Amino acid sequence: MNTLIAITGLGIFCLLFEILNLRKAIIPITIAGLLGVLALNYCEFGAEQSYYNNMITVSKFSTAFSSLFIIITIFLVALSHNFYHNHPTKISDYVAIKVFLLAGGVAMVSFGNLAMFFLGIEVLSIALYVLAASDRLNIKSNEAGMKYFLMGSFASGIILFGICLIYGAMGSFDITEIHESALSAELPIWFPIGMILMVVGMLFKIAAVPFHFWAPDVYEGSPALTTALMSTLAKIVAVATLFKLVSGLNLISSLENQDLLYTFQNIVVFLSIASMTVGNIMALRQVNVKRMLAFSGISHAGFMLMTLLTVSASAGVLLYYTAAYALAGIAAFSVILYVCRDHDNEDITNFHGLGKTNPLLAAILTASLLSMAGIPIFSGFFAKLFLFDQTIKAGFVSLVIVAVINSIISVGYYFKLIIAMYSKEPNQERTGKPFLIYAAAVVSIALNIILGLFPSLVLDLLN
Amino acid sequence: MNVSTILIILLIGAFATYLSGDKLASKVALLFSLAALGCSILLLNNYNAGENISFIANWINKPTIVLALNADGLGIAMVLLTLALTPIIIFSSFGNEYKNAKSFYALILFMAFAMAGTFLAADGLLYYVFWELALVPIYFIALIWGNGDAEERRKAVVKFFIYTLAGSLFMLTAFIYLYQKTGSFLLEKLYAAELSSNEQLWIFLAFFLAYAIKIPIIPFHTWQANVYQKAPTVGTMLLSGIMLKMGLYSVLRWQLPIAPLAAKEYLNIFISLGIAGVIYGSIVALKQKDLKKLLAYSSLAHVGLIAAGSYTLTLDGLRGAVLQMIAHGFVVVGLFFAAEVIFRRFETREISEMGGIRIQSPKFTSMFLILVLASVALPSTFNFVGEFTVLYSLSQINIWFAVLGGTTIILGAYYMLKMFQQVMLGEANSKTFADVSLNEGISFAVIIAVLLFFGFYPKPITDLITPSLETILSVINKN
Amino acid sequence: MDTNLALLLVLTPFLGFLINVFFGKSLGKTVSGTIGTLAVAISFIVTLVLFNQINSTGKGIEVTLFDWIQISNLKINLGFLLDQLSVLWLLFVTGIGSLIHLYSISYMHDDENMHKFFSYLNLFVFFMITLVIGSNLLVLFIGWEGVGLCSYLLIGFWYKNQDYNDAAKKAFIMNRIGDLGLLIGMFIIGSMFSTLDYATLKTAVSEGSPLLSLAALCLFIGACGKSAQIPLYTWLPDAMAGPTPVSALIHAATMVTAGIFMVTRLNFVFDLAVDVQTVIAVIGAITSLLAATIGLVQNDIKKVLAYSTVSQLGLMFLALGFGAYEVAVFHVITHAFFKACLFLGSGSVIHGLHGEQDMRKMGGLRKAMPITFWTMMISSLAISGVPFFSGFFSKDEILLTAFHHSIPLYVVGSIASVMTAFYMFRLMFLTFFKEFRGTEEQKHHLHESGSLITIPLIILAILATFGGLISLPGNSWLNEYLSPLFTKAEGGEHHLGATEYTLMGVAVLGGLLGILIAYIKYFKQNNVPESDDNIIGLSKLLYDKYYIDEIYEAVIVKPINFLSKFFRDYIETGIAAFVFGFGKVTGEIAFQGKKIQTGSIGLYLFVFVIGLCAIVSYLFLAQ
Amino acid sequence: MGNILNQIGIENYIFLSVVLFCIGIFGVLYRRNAIIVFMSIEIMLNAVNLLFVAFSTYHQDAQGQVFVFFSMAVAAAEVAVGLAILVSIFRNIGSISIDNLKNLKG
């Protein structure tokens, strides 16, 4: 709870700094503040309690994920220094919006009441709409913003309708109450429908097939930093929330009562297979790196969906997977930000010969891509491993085999980038070594590798 | 002191090499590889003295993954092979100038680290991790320092990576499945696993995919010739000398004992595949225009025989296979080095552009000839010991296997001598060919010495590996 | 003591090899030659010592160094067995070996790589000794392939000429075919009796069985490869590409007899495989006839000798086929003497003519090089089976044995020997009589070769004359000496009755007949063989060796090469295309997929709604 | 209040709002003018609000009505942002038809 308040406060402060003409200091102060929040959040870890008659419930799950979100946000804020250096007047707004967005995210994973959930998701989304369209004079950015806005609010409508139906079925927004009454026998059919509507809404947010179409376009159009934010923070927030929704509202067992569990599992299996396959195959022929990563994100969404099949056991796995994915994403995007600073597009050609001009960044990007591809010692591999382990334990061997085949396909496009960096001749020289970008990249990939070497650190948090 | 020391040395070596800068890199790398070799020889002594040099430590609690490095005779033998070849390979590269040498040599050491780990790992997942890790450095070595047209090379290398990765991911799935069955990745637990013959078949096939691609057994060999040709010779040596032994070793260590029923049931099929490889490889080798490609196909033929030997599930077969692995490791490195030596002088790998070298370079000729003869398994070379044992074991299964597999000594002689004649003999070549330099000579001499010594006295190795092979066999025949 | 002797025996040639390899160049030609010769001479002396010992004690010496290859059910150690047979073999291997070394010092003196030559020769002797004294089949195999290697090196000694290299390669590969047979034979024997030691084997082998016969057959294939029998004989004539001493040592006296040695060694196996023995006899007979017929019309002096070697080897196998091992051995020895002499003689001739080998360009050398002439004449008489020369006794023994077992084969053998007499004297007449047919300046340089060449010739000639004494019909020292080797005293001991004497007579007459025809054709009528292009009819067929080489080329070599091309160009690319296919297909799908992503919000939302409805309706259906 | 519900029955409310919701959806799908699309989205949201109110009466529980205020506020905020974006688009391309937003594709 305190975390949430602190974050919001921090956001407001960011706005105040603008007024107080502290633009220079804004980034460091915000980072410091976020670190403080992180510490605060860490203190809350393990304490199970709820506030404001159960509007917010703090649990291991919520705190763990909140800390992850905060860490990611720190990186994003750090990156924004160089990204916005040519319109300094707006920097405080951008940073503030990111912080608010984080608040929304934290609210989403720690909601105790569907109202809170709804608010959280809207805070997140609206912030994203703004950021997506933030490059005002760039038509691409506008289009991205508009697309995301229309479809997003459409999805919010669906979610709202879902909430409404559940309310109708249960007569309450409080998830603990719903959790209990979900077990009771004959529920009105609205309940499962409502759940499905909410789940679909969330599937849209995490860009799972067939609700993924917005992702590539929006990722491509938005400013690179926003894309980074979407593909890391926004995605993992959505996944975590979806997971919490399914577990918190006790969907599985309630469906079990109405023997719909099997149906639900089929749906999940189908969606996850579809997401992986479509994502990976579509990514093969992309030339724009952001777009490529959008599709790779879709496929990763498919992987993460596998956790919904083993809700009871796989919170830790999900946390690990999201952490690995987000850290790799941050590392990759910081390199992309550096490489594409003064280009209007993010085509692969911009990366030619990076291995010669900036070996370190090239190595980092390589590492992050290998992590996404699931090559050992990078945490991406263990994430996949634990995921497959869980899933086979639940008896979905065929799903795992499809997933395996998909990870083979994915290597195809990840390596396209690596080859571009190492075996093509550099077509421009890249000057300057912006400290914050390098720092973000190094730290994030280091964290990624550390996670790989000591997976238990994260894995055991939620078990 | 236990086997983990070797890995640590190699890993530190990799970093040290990277930091030492382009000038020193090669020396530092050589130093560390030699250190690792020395360390491994010490360990061998301790092992023979009956000391326990295995290493075990917890890593991940859930799912339980243990840092278990088990050094039995077989493992040590393979590690020795790795660590004996690595210095030779590094040393052999001294003649060449590599841009960004520090990364190059660091990658070599890192690869040696991964491969040694693969041979030592006694925990399924640790083993898999090493297995994959070994793939990454060779990918970059071949991609960045390779030769030939860049576009071609990219295609070949990416194909190689994806292909091998595809195989090994199925192996990973099999491992996870086994973990569900046994609740552990540990080798002995997996050995003890109770599996229905059907499960065994699937697991066997999953493993087979991984290994058949790595070894390679036909028809999974398409990546081989191209990558061998495109990779820098050092990379080719690493690939053919050590890396493909990973696959063969894994067959003995993991595939057969874990899924013995399947192995027994389909014995003939897999032996036949191996032997088909022998004949096919030899015949294709006949008409190769590129020296490295020819050697690639010859090695396809040899490993086919080794694989066939391993699948006989007899002690002779396994022992012969291991002996032949080691012998082939040395001889193939030697041959590729010879190709490199010629390339340094003639700037070509086209056999047709060679010839008439013998007149100008008696030393090189005799060394090359000895290697050629070793690779056609002339008695009194190490390869003969291995090949004889393997063929004998095949003859015990079915005399025709021995006959067909034996064609290797005819066809092998055919294409190797043909190659030797076209490359070395005939009227003096227009281009001048300086005889081997001291460095080159040393590399050759070491290899040849090893081949001849063990050709007459393979006992040390046989005694080293036999006990562990017997345990493996006992697991295979437990039910 | 014995161990040291054995090692000394084996290692001195090897030492000579090492010295010549590493220091030969710097030592200079004469020195390296002397070293090479000494090395062999020493082992000859050692052999003599051993021979005395064994001859007196009458039992063999076993030397085991260490165990070499471990195979579950048979342990193979690196050991030597010095018994009557092996020592006998060593005697002429090292003896003739040292003579030929001596000869080579002068013969090869003009060659820049003389030290190489001697190192190879030493290496050869080393391997040959290993082959002979190995205590089990696998040690024999070391030598077996080792000598093959040396013959490869020596045939291709003048490596600038690719034809020579081809010949060398051919020899090696054809031997390898035989070796595979030998290996398989070993495998079968090994798995049957779980040993490859001669001694243990001899006790283990009790009664015949189909499997044993198969083993024997495989072993015989091996012998065919080494000893140039049908179908694997074609390499030997080509092997004449090597320097003449090599032809004398390797391709006449020693290496090619390895097959006979092996069969004799394993006589107890072959005795139990009667059907295989008949095969051996028949193949031997046919080979001897075939080779003889080809020999009739060859014009290259060394080719003639080569074919005569093949045919003589055929005779030996004929004897082996009848289990008359000591007879075969006897002929091996005598043949070693006179054939070595003949080759060295021809070498001396070629030397004198600066490398001319075509008999049509010789003639009348009798005066120019008398010693060569007389020594060769003696040897020719010996090989033609003229009485009281060594060849007479040995060949006669063979024919006798043949007669006792199968008349047809006897006839074949006799015809072969008649032909032998003919072409040998054809050679003599063309080479040494009448006028010289070479160029003027060749004629001008005609001279007898130096003493280093003539001395070995003389010694060998003497041996060729009196060599027969070791096994006179009736009381044969040889048979006595070898008797402990053989289980049953087969062949050999014929009491000399009427038939025997008549047969001898017939053989002698046959020989004389052959000589007579040659005399008439090439001395009286004095006609010289046609030049290659107007040879016609049967003689053309013979001259082109029945086109056997061409047939092999067409039936075996060409198809393999075609197959290789086919695999390389189609199968390989096919598989590659298949593998790449996956990538291509997915790539194509991706390419098409990009078109779905039209960028139109309407479509996106539409799919969204469709998906939603699908899920909800699925839920309903399920319920 | 309650008795009205009893007379009409909750189902009818549900049907009504579902119908409204679908109208909204179709509006979003088939209209090309951004403003109208916004309005259709509003219709969807309001349909839900109606249903909220109905349910809250049905359950005799105020939470539902409170929630309606939330959603109204949120919707307002959303539309504000949306319109802002729309304005900037209009500035850039001088049109508010979403058919012109097809540059990002493939």
Contacts of C594 in chain A (CB under 8 A): 282, 285
Question: What digits encode the pLDDT tens for the residues B323-358?
Answer: 999 999 999 999 999 999 999 998 888 998 888 888
Domain assignment of residue B410, given as a range: 276-479
Chains that touch A (3 or more CB pairs under 8 A): B, C, D
Q: Token pair of A22, please?
A: 């502290």
A161–D70 C-beta distance less than 8 A: no
Question: What digits encode the pLDDT tens for the residues B142-171?
Answer: 999 988 888 888 888 999 999 999 999 999
Q: Which of C197, C213, C239 is the last residue of a domain?
A: C239
Q: Give the integer Cα–Cα distance in Å for B194 and B183.
A: 12
Q: Which of A210, A229, A259 is the last residue of a domain?
A: A259
Question: Number of folded domains in chain A?
Answer: 2
Judge whether A454 is closer than 8 Å to chain C, CB to CB: no
Reported as type and span, the H/E element at residue C79 is strand C74-82
Chain A residues 350-379 with CB within 8 Å of chain B: 355, 359, 370, 375-377
Same domain membership, residue A253 and residue A306: no
Reported as type and span, the H/E element at residue A368 is helix A359-373
- The reply to whether C538 falls in a domain is no
Per mean pLDDT, which of A224-233, B427-436, C547-556 is the most reliable?
A224-233
Q: Give the integer Cα–Cα distance in Å for A296 and A302.
A: 10
Say if residue C491's pLDDT is above 50: no
Point out the residue among C176, C191, C576 whose CB comes nearest to the CB of B395: C191
Question: What digits encode the pLDDT tens for the residues C281-305?
Answer: 999 999 999 999 999 888 888 999 9
Mutation target to probe the C interface, by most C beta carbons within 10 A, among B287, B371, B466 is: B287
Q: What is the pLDDT of residue C26?
A: 86
Contacts of D89 in chain A (CB under 8 A): 139, 142-143, 146
- The reply to whether B22 falls in a domain is no
Point out the residue among B225, B378, B385 whose CB comes nearest to the CB of C69: B385
**What is the pairing mode between strands A56-58 and B55-60?**
unpaired
Question: What digits encode the pLDDT tens for the residues B8-66?
Answer: 999 999 999 999 988 899 999 999 999 999 999 999 999 998 888 889 999 888 788 99
Say if residue C329's pLDDT is above 70: yes
Question: What digits encode the pLDDT tens for the residues A12-23?
Answer: 988 888 888 888
Q: Token pair of C270, please?
A: 């072959």
Contacts of C580 in chain A (CB under 8 A): none
Reported confidence tier of residue D2, pLDDT bands at 50, 70, 90: low
Residue of A nearest to C594 (CA): A282
Say if residue A332's pLDDT is above 90: yes
Judge whether D32 is closer than 8 Å to chain C, CB to CB: yes
Contacts of C169 in chain B (CB under 8 A): 417-418, 421
Residue of A nearest to D26 (CA): A154
Q: Which residue has the higher pLDDT, B270 or A344?
A: B270
Point out the residue among B287, B319, B418 whose CB comes nearest to the CB of C169: B418
Question: Number of folded domains in chain C?
Answer: 3
Chains that touch C (3 or more CB pairs under 8 A): A, B, D
Asked which of B262-276, C531-545, D9-23 is least confident by mean pLDDT, the reply is C531-545
Contacts of C599 in chain A (CB under 8 A): 217
Same domain membership, residue A62 and residue A33: yes
A129–D104 C-beta distance less than 8 A: no
Asked which of B220-224, B271-275, C72-76 is least confident by mean pLDDT, the reply is C72-76
Q: Token pair of B246, please?
A: 């990973």
Judge whether D90 is closer than 8 Å to chain C, CB to CB: no
Same domain membership, residue C357 and residue C224: no
Q: What is the pLDDT of residue A185?
A: 65
Question: What digits encode the pLDDT tens for the residues C440-462?
Answer: 887 788 888 888 888 999 999 99
Q: What is the mean pLDDT of residues C301-323?
A: 91
Look up tokens 């996870």; give the residue.
Answer: B176
Contacts of A422 in chain B (CB under 8 A): 140, 143-144
Q: What is the pLDDT of residue B334?
A: 95
Burial of C146 per CB tally in 10 Å (0-12, 13-18, 19+)? buried
Contacts of D48 in chain A (CB under 8 A): 157, 160-161, 164
Same domain membership, residue A434 and residue A296: yes
Same domain membership, residue A353 and residue A416: yes
Q: Token pair of A462, please?
A: 């939620």
Chain D residues 68-87 with CB within 8 Å of chain C: none
Same domain membership, residue C218 and residue C308: no
B410–C176 C-beta distance less than 8 A: yes
Q: Which of A259, A294, A310 is the last residue of a domain?
A: A259
Same domain membership, residue C425 and residue C280: yes
C160–B425 C-beta distance less than 8 A: yes
Question: What digits encode the pLDDT tens for the residues A159-171?
Answer: 999 999 999 988 8
Planar angle of CA C334, C338, C339, nearest 5 degrees: 105
Q: Residues with Cβ < 8 Å from C296, sequence gap 6 or more?
A: C419, C422, C423, C426, C539, C542
Contacts of A263 in chain C (CB under 8 A): 618-619, 622-623
Mutation target to probe the A interface, by most A beta carbons within 10 A, among B165, B184, B199, B230 is: B165
How many CB pairs lie under 8 A apart between chains C and D? 26
* Average pLDDT across chain A, whole number: 91
- The reply to whether A64 falls in a domain is yes
Contacts of B319 in chain C (CB under 8 A): 70-71
Q: Give the integer Cα–Cα distance in Å for C208 and C226.
A: 25
Reported confidence tier of residue A273, pLDDT bands at 50, 70, 90: very high
Look up tokens 């007389």; give the residue.
Answer: C374
Contacts of A216 in chain C (CB under 8 A): 597
C21–B421 C-beta distance less than 8 A: no
Provide DSSP, C159-172: TTSHHHHHHHHHHH
Point out the residue among D28, D32, D105 whose CB comes nearest to the CB of C605: D28
Judge whether A394 is closer than 8 Å to chain B, CB to CB: no
Q: Token pair of C49, please?
A: 């010592």
Contacts of B409 in chain C (CB under 8 A): 176, 179-180, 183
Q: Cα C233 to the chain's mean position, in Å?
A: 8
D70–A146 C-beta distance less than 8 A: no
HEC secondary structure over chain B: CCCHHHHHHHHHHHHHHHHHHHHHHHHHHHHHHHHHHHHHHHHHHHHHCCCCCCEEEEEECCCCEEEEECCCHHHHHHHHHHHHHHHHHHHHHHHCCCCCHHHHHHHHHHHHHHHHHHHHECEHHHHHHHHHHCHHHHHHHHHHHCCCCHHHHHHHHHHHHHHHHHHHHHHHHHHHHHHHHHCCCEHHHHHHCCCCHHHHHHHHHHHHHHHHHHCCCCCCCHHHHHHHHHCCHHHHHHHHHHHHHHHHHHHHHHHHHHCHHHHHHCHHHHHHHHHHHHHHHHHHHHCCCEHHHHHHHHHHHHHHHHHHHHHCCCHHHHHHHHHHHHHHHHHHHHHHHHHHHHHHHHCCCEHHHCCCCCCCCHHHHHHHHHHHHHHCCCCCCHHHHHHHHHHHHHHHHCHHHHHHHHHHHHHHHHHHHHHHHHHHCCCCCCCCCCCCCHHHHHHHHHHHHHHHHHHHCCHHHHHHHHHHHHHHHHHHCCC
Question: Is the alpha carbon torsion for D45, D46, D51, D56 positive or negative?
Answer: positive
Residue of B nearest to A385 (CA): B176
* Average pLDDT across chain C, whole number: 88
- Region at C307 (left for phi over 0; alpha for psi -120 to 50; beta for the rest): alpha
CA quadruple B192, B194, B198, B200: dihedral, nearest 10: -10
Say if residue C341's pLDDT is above 80: yes
Judge whether A398 is closer than 8 Å to chain B, CB to CB: no
Q: What is the pLDDT of residue C488?
A: 60
Q: Which residue has the higher pLDDT, C152 or B150?
A: C152
In this structure, how many other beta carbons lie within 10 angstroms of the beta carbon of residue A47?
11
Question: Number of folded domains in chain B?
Answer: 1
Q: What is the pLDDT of residue C251?
A: 87
Q: Token pair of D38, please?
A: 């916004």
Closest-CA distance of chain B to residue A370, Å: 9
Question: Is the alpha carbon torsion for B436, B442, B446, B447 positive or negative?
Answer: negative
- The reply to whether C264 falls in a domain is no
Judge whether B177 is closer than 8 Å to chain A, CB to CB: yes
Say if residue D3's pLDDT is above 80: no
Same domain membership, residue C396 and residue C325: yes
Residue of C nearest to B223 (CA): C576
Say if residue B180's pLDDT is above 50: yes
Domain assignment of residue A225, given as a range: 1-259
Contacts of B132 in chain A (CB under 8 A): 375-376, 381
Beta bridge partners of B55: B69
Chains that touch D (3 or more CB pairs under 8 A): A, C
Closest-CA distance of chain A to residue D4, Å: 18
Q: What is the mean pLDDT of residues C61-84?
A: 87
Q: Token pair of B282, please?
A: 């030899």
- Please list, residue by residue across C426-464, b when 16 or more beta carbons sit within 10 angstroms of its beta carbon and e when fewer do: bbbbbbbbbebbbeeebeeeeebbeebbbebbebbbebb
Contacts of A370 in chain B (CB under 8 A): 136
Contacts of C68 in chain B (CB under 8 A): 385, 456-459
Question: What digits encode the pLDDT tens for the residues C257-285?
Answer: 999 999 999 999 998 888 999 999 999 99
- The reply to whether B154 falls in a domain is no
Q: Which residue has the higher pLDDT, C361 or C422?
A: C422
Q: Residues with Cβ < 8 Å from B137, sequence gap 6 or more?
A: B107, B108, B110, B111, B114
Say if residue C493's pLDDT is above 60: no
Say if residue D52's pLDDT is above 90: yes
- The reply to whether C265 falls in a domain is no
Closest-CA distance of chain A to residue D105, Å: 6
- The reply to whether B7 falls in a domain is no
Same domain membership, residue A315 and residue A203: no
- The reply to whether B326 falls in a domain is yes
Q: What is the pLDDT of residue B246?
A: 94
Residue of B nearest to C131 (CA): B379
Same domain membership, residue A203 and residue A296: no
Question: What digits encode the pLDDT tens for the residues B272-307?
Answer: 999 999 999 999 999 999 999 999 999 999 999 999
A115–D70 C-beta distance less than 8 A: yes
- Contact (CB, 8 A) for A173 and A113: yes
Q: What is the pLDDT of residue C492?
A: 46
How many CB pairs lie under 8 A apart between chains B and C? 130
Say if residue C490's pLDDT is above 60: no
Closest-CA distance of chain D to residue C615, Å: 16
The interface predicted TM-score (ipTM) is 0.91
Reported confidence tier of residue A104, pLDDT bands at 50, 70, 90: very high
Termini Cα distance of chain B: 37
Contacts of C610 in chain A (CB under 8 A): 210
Q: What is the pLDDT of residue A448?
A: 95
Question: What digits encode the pLDDT tens for the residues A302-329?
Answer: 999 999 998 888 899 999 999 999 999 9
- The reply to whether B462 falls in a domain is yes
Same domain membership, residue A83 and residue A146: yes
Domain assignment of residue C522, given as a range: 273-483+495-526
- Contact (CB, 8 A) for C136 and C76: yes
- The reply to whether B294 falls in a domain is yes
The CATH architecture of the domain made up of D2-97 is Orthogonal Bundle (1.10)
Domain map (residue ranges) of chain D: 2-97
